[in-house]
Each structure stands twice: as structure tokens, then as C-alpha cells.
Amino acid sequence: MTAETVLADPEIRISGLTKIFGEGQGAVTAISNANLEMRQGEFISLLGPSGCGKTTLLRIIAGLEVPTQGGVEVRGLPIWVGGKRDRAATRPVSMMFQEARLFPWLTVAENVALPLRIARVGQAERMARARDICATVGLKGFEDASPTALSGGMRQRASLARALVTDPQVLLLDEPFGALDAMTRDTLNLELMDVCARAKVTTILVTHSIAESAFLSDRVVVLAPRPARILDVVDIPFARPRDLNLQRTAEFQDLVASLRTQMTEGAE
Ligand SMILES: Nc1ncnc2c1ncn2[C@@H]1O[C@H](COP(=O)(O)OP(=O)(O)OP(=O)(O)O)[C@@H](O)[C@H]1O
């Protein structure tokens, strides 16, 4: 367990967080006493083997899953109060999933505008904002298309646009490009870094890829398998902006090797 309790005014504070699913003999501890703080605008990856509680941690921060013990604060507000979600605390938080989850009967721009429609933003304003953000993520010219006409990479762009359309302060990404081919994934990761830096959004990415976590992040949180816990929080020293050539350098490959060793040792 790594305790990181040094920031005076963290954007996100996770303290003593434990999540147990079920009861008795069938109980599964998905997260055990996790502690972590994040600065505003920081990019963190959660890296760990399948089933080590990464998605559960994101879902608790998003207000979709109630913790068993401990809590999460976003900008000083607890997400969960007495087992109930505080909507004011989750308002600045947006989540993107591995599957795009777009509605086929709506256009791309209408899908992107959905969170604004739910927030009762008027039609003209929400469509204007949706079109703007479509342009930011490389969907210019596809706003009026059906999502069924898009490639997998384009659908994930639309999904990212929908996550960003509310101007979130915290962006949660659950393996957003995990199902895409390597080249598309590289392109989208570069664009993601750029978009996150420009929006100054605090980002948590769940990934299985060690190289992806090292390339994108300011810090990598290495998680151990069950009982799920934080093994280490590793600072990534590479300057920004970063390009794909970074991945060919000896420094990058050494860092990836050392993260891999940590993960392997943690699994033993
Ligand atoms: N709703 C649930 N009910 C019971 N057990 C659950 C539930 N959600 C998750 N779990 C269990 O909690 C553990 C952590 O699951 P979680 O999905 O958070 O892991 P993960 O690290 O995101 O896995 P993956 O990388 O495969 O997506 C797993 O053992 C899983 O089976």
C-alpha cells in the first residue's frame, strides 16, 4: 500500500479506499486500502493485471459504485456521503469506456451532445458545442453521419468527444483504445495527450499496456492482483510534448522494463 498524502489542495484524494463485493465465503476484495492524491491537470495511469480492481476504482470515482470503506474527494467534495452519491461532487467528472456505446439512431453530433441534453442545455447551444468538440477530436465532416458508418477508431473519437463536451475537470478512461489496432491506437494516444493537455483536464487511464502507461502519464500507479492494492506510484520523467520516437529510446525501454519487473514481482 502506498500512501500519497502530501498535496495541500489535491484535485482528487483517494483515502483508505476498500471495496468488497459480496459477503462471507464468496466475498471478493476488489480494492484494499488504496491511498492516492492527484494534482490538477495530472495524467495518471492505473496499470495492473486483469481483475486487480482498476475498473472498480474508476467506477467509484465516477460515482457508479459505492465504496465499502474509505472515500474519494474531487476538488474537496466527497463523492460518497453515507453510501449516497453527491451529484455536486461528480459533476466535474466524465468517463469514457472501452466500447463507444453510441446510439445508432442518433447522428454523431447528437450522440456527442447527449450529456448536454441530459443537463438541459438548449438545442442550439448543445449542438454548437458538440460540433466544436467533434472538430477538436478529428471528426470534422462526420458530425451528421450515423455512428454505424464510422470505423472503430472514429467511434472512439466520438466517445471521447462525448466525454469532453461538458468541459470536465476530471476525465476517467477505461481502456479507451484497447480494442483498436496498434497504429490507430498510437495515433489516438498522441491526440489524447494533446487534447488533455489543452483542456488541462486531470486524467486517469486504465490500461494493461506498460508502454502506453509510460508514454502517456505523469505517474503510473502499479496495482497488484488480489488482494488488490497499490504496489508503487512511479514518476515518469520524460518532458512534454512527447512523440512516438520517445518509445525507441533506451531510457523509455529501461523504464518499461522496470515497470514490468515491478508488475511481475507484485504478482508473485
Ligand atoms: N459487480 C460485481 N460483483 C462482484 N464482483 C465484482 C463486480 N465487479 C467487479 N467484481 C470483481 O472485482 C474484481 C476487480 O474487478 P475489476 O473489473 O475492477 O478489475 P480490472 O482490474 O478492471 O479487470 P480488467 O483489467 O480485466 O478489466 C474482479 O475479481 C471482479 O470479478
Distance from C-alpha of 130 to C-alpha of 111, rounded to nearest angstrom: 9
Evaluate the CA torsion angle 145, 149, 150, 156 in order and state its sign: positive
Phi, psi values for residue 125, rounded to 5°: -65, -45
Whether the per-residue pLDDT at 180 is higher than 90: the answer is no
Q: Which residues on adjacent β-strands are paired with residue 46?
A: 206, 221
* Preceding omega of 241 cis (within 30 degrees of 0): yes
Q: Which amino acid is at 74?
A: V
Q: What pLDDT is stored for residue 50 in this prediction?
A: 86
Question: What sections of the chain are H helices per DSSP?
Answer: 54-61, 87-90, 108-118, 123-136, 152-164, 182-199, 210-216, 250-267
Q: What pLDDT is stored for residue 98 in this prediction?
A: 86
pTM over 0.90: yes
Average pLDDT for residues 165-176, to the nearest whole number? 94
Distance from C-alpha of 194 to C-alpha of 254, rounded to nearest angstrom: 25
List Cα–Cα distances, 86 to 76, 90, 165, 166, 170, in angstroms: 12, 7, 21, 18, 16
Whether the per-residue pLDDT at 12 is higher than 50: the answer is yes
pLDDT digits 0-9 by tens, 15-60? 999 999 999 889 999 999 999 999 999 999 999 888 888 999 999 9
15 lines ligand 1 (CB under 6 A): no
Closest atom of ligand 1 to 52 CA is 21
Q: Give the closest residue (by CA) to ligand 1 atom 31.
A: 51
- Percent with pLDDT over 90 in the chain: 76
Q: Give the closest residue (by CA) to ligand 1 atom 7.
A: 21
SS3 label, residue 180: coil
Q: What pLDDT is stored for residue 227 in this prediction?
A: 66
Task: Find the helix or strand (DSSP H, E) in which 111 lies.
Answer: helix 108-118
Average the pLDDT over each of 6-15, 18-27, 64-73 and give the range with the smallest value: 6-15
**Count of other CB atoms within 10 angstroms of residue 25:** 5
Is-contact 102 158, C-beta < 8 A? yes
168 lines ligand 1 (CB under 6 A): no
pLDDT digits 0-9 by tens, 83-132? 889 999 999 999 998 888 999 999 999 999 999 999 999 999 999 999 99
pLDDT digits 0-9 by tens, 48-59? 888 888 999 999
- ipTM for the assembly: 0.96
pLDDT digits 0-9 by tens, 185-202? 999 999 999 999 988 999
